[in-house]
Structure 1
């Protein structure tokens, strides 16, 4: 893997098409749009895995990542805006794709959970799929970022596929051009989205081991094969039916014979997490649950009637989310470094993940504003941290020598400057403040805004209260969301990054030519269907289509 990965905008540009040919053989220009990317710094949170009996919970940090992709109004499906629409609405375009990822970090394991993904239906549905390219490229880029930061740590991509008409764009289900997949189609689609991750380049120490897993409660291994992509990957990487939970437990230093609740992660809005909570309540393992069993059984950390992972997945089949004709698929991609050593000392220092190391780039973040982390030169940050260390009392210094007498405040003088009004439901300084914030969009992870968790939650809540039912309403909602995030971060202008596709797309003529020539010499399947000709029988063209009696042989007549 390269010492420095490309930015997110460059990764999307490489994945998106430079042009395409429609069914009417009309050449389309390169696909372009605007990327808007938000992410939060890692902060401590509750452990993703329940600790085994007698063990301490794993120290876990969580960072949230949310990216959207919008296109111009003129390129959107569904007509044009009414005459007289404001120029501002037209300039912001309309949101088309959004995806949210949650990154959980422990000492030995990094887990990327695909929380939500949704579309509005306003992006033209020309092959290749833009939605698939954006989702696949963004997940792959984030995995490579984590590999670069922690080359000896195992990285896991996890998601569950459950079909719904809308996740992130309210009202988008009313748009007739939005293509909503059913349960089975959605599982296959996500498998194709994650499939390129099996081709991630080797790391500096050798070839990474990468495997994909699919589990559907109620399906056996033979039935799961129809959901697995059949792409041939290098180094023997492939998809498997099942799950990697036992392997991940070994990476975490937990025995595979531990209680199942210690082997299963608890993601937000996760069907299996809700089932785990119900099982915890039955035996009184939940923190606020009444004691219904003996203390010794509670101490064992085991559920009733669910003693191992196999039994857990069997019981999941009868849950409401996985029964009554519904299908839920659980997918994993496990990226194991070649030197799979448990060198996870990155979390021994509590400030390591909050303040990234200075060797990772020329700019680093300072929490100067409440809802955006402003970039500062690394040298300035180094001096500021040194000053903080110098002012900290050492053990040899006497803390009691400091004066206990309160310092007398100086009387305030000068003009009285009124404060800005407080926004409902947010911090009093969300609309922020200093003119130094304008234009400072450099972030440690590329083209995004490093924002606090409060600002991130505010941006998500704003999006979930908008409407995307038709193009005019969706364009107004897009402008409102972009301006709201800019206001939260104290920015005066749009913070989107323009992305122009560069991936070459083969025309139908070239595909047909490649198929007729048997494809490339790299192992393409030879199609002999166009070379086989059937022999014609003599006189077939002159034979009537229907049997005629005159064509029969006349019987012989007998003379008297």
Structure 2
């Protein structure tokens, strides 16, 4: 029997017995994009690749019902020499989760799917560099399934419920990763909710956080700037990543439009604390709803023993860069040549050079819409992806193509692999469909699968998933001894006489007696007669 694909096996192992669904995993070939962290004036941009992953799960097709997409999530992966960022871009349900017929009392199917998918993408990347999982929780009626808000089965969580849900799901990922690890290799979770103080934010932490040691908490109310960038003394403009369709990225763009001096500093916001305080006044964070920003930081074994600035130095070119000579050249900007090696050998540059042509083009608000590869290069990217050699975009014919070897991550590619334009076309098709009602949802599901096959040129898309995890339901009647677990239940307040007798052991002719015997020999002075009438 042939081995099942890794993601299919993981999903089956994470879902309870009795659950049947169909999964659809599409990904894009990595393409060059603008760096997430803005560079200081005169500083070279760090080479960055972006690849997209889209996972959708659907209810299985039966004789009396058609297949319908139930849940979908999009994760973007940005890879640079010093940091790998997994960004949960979009997640949504269509309102037809009841079609999965989940056993009563089983864990959240959606939560299990998203946690398994995140772990699947995370694991092969943890040994390359520091890895951060980033997302923002903002309650909306619909993200990926147009018209789904009209379905009565769709339960939209409010802002606090949504933040708590994401924290619980990501806590499972965090603790499974930390199991058996010691500091400084342990991952940490960081949550910020603009407009909420520390106590209000901690109330959103998962319940398991209360069991953590105060000296080594897994959940922290902070923005982990010191874990993401090498030099936190830079202006805040250079300490916050610009992720697509992210509220804080829009704020960064607005601040850039007002004023940026020669040191890369804004006129109004001077510190990170001021930035996050001002975020609480933005419309997205102050219109009666909370927005939670969550980061899970995973230090690799290599980065746990080396400062981040040292890792960045190994990713820079050893040769000196002559910006003055490049300014007069008409050749387009080329990107640094880097190779991601294994954990033992670290990140090694190949000794090439990187140049920048001035002036720089305006920054795109979304990294995905930044510098992209041309169609010829994109096609070659797809061919080389299976060999573990992925080439970033470069327009200069005078310098070698920059190559990034990511052999260990090719196993996370989707069942279908598209170029950046094809992937966006597939996502746009879904965003223009209609999921209002079961019949329309079934038609949209069928059309989306056909569109994926048309773009990829493949014959098959979708994998059946049958849950394999034994379901352990709580017993209907717990034994009497188990009731003591519930503290403060079944506690009887002591009577004054009982307390006095415990303080004074009673004796009979045979020595110390049992409590019942002592009650039978109470002194008459302690017995009060009830008054008549």
Structure 2-normalised TM-score? 0.70
- CA distance, structure 1, for counterparts of residue 380 and residue 31 of structure 2: 15
Q: Corresponding residue for 1:102?
A: 76
- Asked whether the 8 Å contact 2:120–2:412 carries over to 1, the reply is no
Which ranges in structure 2 are unaligned for 5 or more consecutive residues? 318-335, 341-375, 392-396, 401-409, 496-530
Deviations 1:84-130 (A, max 9, x none): xxxxxx3xx11011000010111110000000000011112754111
Shift of residue 447, structure 1, vs aligned partner:
5.6
Deviations 1:263-307 (A, max 9, x none): 011111111111111111111x4xxxxxxxxxxxx2121112210
Q: Corresponding residue for 2:294?
A: 331
Out of 182-191 and 8-17, give the one that drifted further.
8-17
- Asked whether the 8 Å contact 1:48–1:265 carries over to 2, the reply is yes
Q: Corresponding residue for 1:487?
A: 454
- Asked whether the 8 Å contact 1:157–1:334 carries over to 2, the reply is yes
- Asked whether the 8 Å contact 2:159–2:291 carries over to 1, the reply is yes
2:247 is equivalent to residue 271 of structure 1: yes
- Asked whether the 8 Å contact 2:29–2:382 carries over to 1, the reply is no
2:478 is equivalent to residue 513 of structure 1: yes
Shift of residue 202, structure 1, vs aligned partner:
6.4
- Asked whether the 8 Å contact 2:30–2:50 carries over to 1, the reply is yes
- Asked whether the 8 Å contact 2:24–2:55 carries over to 1, the reply is yes
Q: Corresponding residue for 1:458?
A: 425
Q: Corresponding residue for 2:524?
A: none
Aligned pairs for 1:347-358 within 5 A? 350=337, 352=339
Shift of residue 374, structure 1, vs aligned partner:
6.4
- CA distance, structure 1, for counterparts of residue 227 and residue 479 of structure 2: 42
SS at match of 2:37: coil
- CA distance, structure 2, for counterparts of residue 164 and residue 259 of structure 1: 33
CA RMSD of aligned residues (A): 3.8
- CA distance, structure 1, for counterparts of residue 224 and residue 377 of structure 2: 42
Out of 45-54 and 199-208, give the one that drifted further.
199-208
- CA distance, structure 1, for counterparts of residue 191 and residue 437 of structure 2: 36
SS at match of 1:463: helix
- CA distance, structure 2, for counterparts of residue 140 and residue 514 of structure 1: 38
Q: Corresponding residue for 2:195?
A: 218
SS at match of 1:339: helix
Q: Corresponding residue for 1:228?
A: 205
2:467 is equivalent to residue 467 of structure 1: no
**In the alignment, which of 140, 148, 160 is matched to residue 172 of structure 1?**
148
Shift of residue 206, structure 1, vs aligned partner:
7.3
2:160 is equivalent to residue 197 of structure 1: no
Deviations 1:300-343 (A, max 9, x none): 21112210000001111111111131211100000012332355
Which ranges in structure 1 are unaligned for 5 or more consecutive residues? 19-29, 82-89, 286-297, 354-366, 386-391, 396-442, 519-524, 537-551, 555-560
- Asked whether the 8 Å contact 1:212–1:239 carries over to 2, the reply is yes
- Asked whether the 8 Å contact 2:54–2:74 carries over to 1, the reply is yes
2:236 is equivalent to residue 260 of structure 1: yes
- CA distance, structure 2, for counterparts of residue 513 and residue 277 of structure 1: 58
SS at match of 1:139: helix
Q: Corresponding residue for 1:301?
A: 264
Q: Corresponding residue for 2:41?
A: 53
Q: Corresponding residue for 1:181?
A: 157
- CA distance, structure 2, for counterparts of residue 152 and residue 261 of structure 1: 26
Matched residue count: 415
Shift of residue 372, structure 1, vs aligned partner:
10
- Asked whether the 8 Å contact 1:8–1:446 carries over to 2, the reply is no
- Asked whether the 8 Å contact 1:372–1:489 carries over to 2, the reply is no
- CA distance, structure 1, for counterparts of residue 265 and residue 532 of structure 2: 88
- Asked whether the 8 Å contact 1:37–1:67 carries over to 2, the reply is yes
Q: 1:233 to 1:153 in 2, by over 3 A?
A: farther
Q: 1:204 to 1:210 in 2, by over 3 A?
A: closer
- CA distance, structure 2, for counterparts of residue 324 and residue 94 of structure 1: 34
- CA distance, structure 2, for counterparts of residue 515 and residue 333 of structure 1: 41
Q: 1:463 to 1:211 in 2, by over 3 A?
A: same
2:225 is equivalent to residue 245 of structure 1: yes
SS at match of 1:227: coil
Shift of residue 201, structure 1, vs aligned partner:
4.0
- CA distance, structure 1, for counterparts of residue 41 and residue 338 of structure 2: 29
Q: Corresponding residue for 1:145?
A: 124
Structure 1-normalised TM-score? 0.66
Q: 1:185 to 1:516 in 2, by over 3 A?
A: farther
Shift of residue 143, structure 1, vs aligned partner:
0.9
Q: 1:528 to 1:52 in 2, by over 3 A?
A: same
- Asked whether the 8 Å contact 1:260–1:307 carries over to 2, the reply is yes
